[in-house]
Amino acid sequence: MHRETKTDTRLAVLLAAFASIGAGAIHVAVVPNHWQEWPLSGVFFAGLAAFQLGWAAVIIRWPRPTILGIGLVANLGAMILWAVSRVWGVPFGPHAGVPEAVGAPGVLTMVLEASILLGVTWSLLPRHRSALLTTGGYRFAVTGAALAMLMFMASGVITGLEHTHSGAEGHHGPNESSQHDGDPPKQSPKPEPSRPNQPAEPTQQAPTPTTQPPAEGSSDHDDGDDHSHG
């Protein structure tokens, strides 16, 4: 029975495969959002996800230098395209020339794709022989790499799905609202219509004091007696 040799080269290939699976899963999660924005963009991300998942399955079984090199070039191109779209925007499509927002799914995918480049580059370095690893150390390293890639993948998939449900980010113009899909549009409150038959409220004025002249024949005294002044 053939026993696989535990080497640092093999470990690097597995690291690249795990990272490619994680990046492909995140791309699958964001396909619906990109499809809603532009169907051709959705097709691109679906194709990229299929390539990354399929490439990971192939190199685990057949880690040939040619196959590894194809994955390195493809993932490097994806990273460059992501950087260009965030700095200058894609040169074509409905949002051409508009820089896209930097979201968590994209950042996590970049980390995973950088891990792919690191693993592939390490496995392709020219050397006389690969370093041998103990079985325990090899298994520990593989388990740690798998858990790390799983954590990045889960975070990217969750945020990618949330991004899909909440609508596209980064493509709102200055006069466009950032409402969630399905939410009713916000309307400004309408002024109350004036009532045509409603009488106007009378304005209150300060009462003016009025002086009444004394009645004729009345005296300043109430006893009715006449007093003569001499």
SS3 per residue for the chain:
CCCCCCEHHHHHHHHHHHHHHHHHHHHHHHHHHHHHHCHHHHHHHHHHHHHHHHHHHHHHHCCCHHHHHHHHHHHHHHHHHHHHHHHCCCCCCCCCCCCCCCCHHHHHHHHHHHHHHHHHHHHHCCCCCCCECCHHHHHHHHHHHHHHHHHHHHHHHHHHHHHHHCCCCCCCCCCCCCCCCCCCCCCCCCCCCCCCCCCCCCCCCCCCCCCCCCCCCCCCCCCCCCCCCC
- CA 81 – CA 212 distance, rounded (Å): 97
Rg (CA), the chain: 40
- CA 139 – CA 95 distance, rounded (Å): 46
Tokens of 20: 């490619």
Other Cβ atoms within 10 Å of 72 Cβ, number: 18
* Tens-digit pLDDT profile for residues 115-158: 999 999 999 999 888 899 999 999 999 999 999 999 999 999 99
Q: Would you state the pLDDT for residue 4?
A: 65
Q: Name the phi and psi angles at 35, rounded to 5.
A: -65, -40
Q: Would you state the pLDDT for residue 79?
A: 97
Confidence of residue 206 (pLDDT cuts 50, 70, 90): low
Confidence of residue 229 (pLDDT cuts 50, 70, 90): very low
**Is the pLDDT reported for residue 191 higher than 60?**
no
Q: Would you state the pLDDT for residue 137?
A: 92
**Is the pLDDT reported for residue 65 higher than 80?**
yes
Contact 160, 30 (CB under 8 A): yes
**Is the pLDDT reported for residue 93 higher than 90?**
no
**Is the pLDDT reported for residue 55 higher than 70?**
yes
Q: Kindly list the domain boundaries of the chain, sorted by start residue.
A: 8-125+154-165
Other Cβ atoms within 10 Å of 204 Cβ, number: 6
Confidence of residue 198 (pLDDT cuts 50, 70, 90): low
